[in-house]
Structure 1
Amino acid sequence: MVQVADVSAILLAAGTSNRFGAEDKLLAPLAGEPLALHAARRIVELLPKRRIAVCKDTDGALAQLLASNGFKIIVNPHPEHGLSQSLSCGIAEAALGREAAALICLADMPFVSTRHLRELLTRFDPRTAPAVASSNGNAAMPPALFSRALFDKLRNGEGDRGGKALLADAALVHADPDELLDIDRPDDLPAR
């Protein structure tokens, strides 16, 4: 187990959202609020030592929204290079701190509960479970928690796979598949 005060939480929010269309997916309304704000609020409720958001810029609406919720904004200058580029940017910032682990969350996963994030922290052990991932019963996926000892490997991933290789051996924390849904297309959003 790792204490929440010894965790950096990283919200990946710099994707290109190609499948969503022209609208900025992370600002699309869900239950009256921007989509990304749902995931951000679960992190805020968790109370980690540091909150980091990886965005496309520092002055756009999304970056300003996340900054106003206490996130340090880190810019991914090349979001077109995939999720691993955002992960690398976030982990580089987390590595500047002293926290024992980094919790990786995706801004397009609005239904993940704070309870589930706490379960990831509870399952973590730096020796026996240095990587802990969520599972919908079929696959290991984010949100995921990684020991500081894995930061260098996370920084060197490529494409949209990011930390996927490290998830292959991760300890798993199961959640209802609906909780782990991500929003890729406008049709994925519940009725507005």
Structure 2
Amino acid sequence: MRLTRTGLLLAAGASRRFGADDKLLAMLHDRPVIAHAAEAMRKASLERRIAVIANAELRPFLSGFDVVKITSGTQSDSLIAGLKAAGVPDRLLIVLADMPLVTSELLEQVVARVSDSQPAACHDEGPPMPPACFPKNWLARLADASGDRGAGRFIRDLPASALIPARGMLADIDSLADLDRLEKQPRP
């Protein structure tokens, strides 16, 4: 039996630390930040892709995604809206739109590592982080998420066997300094 795999791109944050502009529309290597994560998800083996956004200007970069628009809120607000749209897939892959270095290969590894009883996530010399993938029987737990931690509390204690080394791909963009730093790095 083939498992159904749904990808959920969380892109509804308020970009408070970035300034007045939406960080996901900022240019990085000649493309908006959101375009990088969206492209990685389009290349990954997923039956369905959902993006949760607060800014309608992000829609043009989300071809191939079912788009759910919400009022900007916490990470858990985005997660819960995405869960409602996803239904009950066998696997739910969660990706953050402000992580432009994530590759489709990394996403494939995370999805391959999840089991029916345990999520999988990434790490890079620190605590587990998204991209993270959850089995169907964990989706009800995710629906209880609250605040800006989203799914983080569910992956922080995963054993090493459930973690994929991401080797520098987990950089996120929270500020203009982050964007400048990543712009100076070679293109992925």
TM over 0.5: yes
Q: Please, which of 101, 108, 114 is the counterpart of residue 104 of structure 2? A: 114
Q: Secondary structure at the match of 1:12?
A: strand
Q: Please, which of 79, 83, 98 is the counterpart of residue 91 of structure 1? A: 83
TM-superposed deviation, 1:62: 0.4
Partner of 1:61: 57
Partner of 2:139: 151
TM-superposed deviation, 1:137: 2.4
Q: Aligned partners of 1:153, 1:122: CA distance in 2, in Å? A: 21
Q: How does 1:10-159 map to 2 (within 5 A)?
A: 10-57=8-55, 60-66=56-62, 69-77=63-71, 79-80=72-73, 82-95=74-87, 98-127=88-117, 130-159=118-147
Q: TM-score, normalised by structure 2?
A: 0.89
Q: Aligned partners of 1:136, 1:99: CA distance in 2, in Å? A: 28
Q: Deviations over 1:125-174 (max 9, x none)?
A: 103xx211111121010000001111111111111101122113332111
RMSD: 1.7
Q: Structure 2 stretches of 5 or more lacking a match?
A: none
Partner of 1:172: 163
Q: TM-score, normalised by structure 1?
A: 0.87
- Misfit runs of 4+, over 4 Å: none
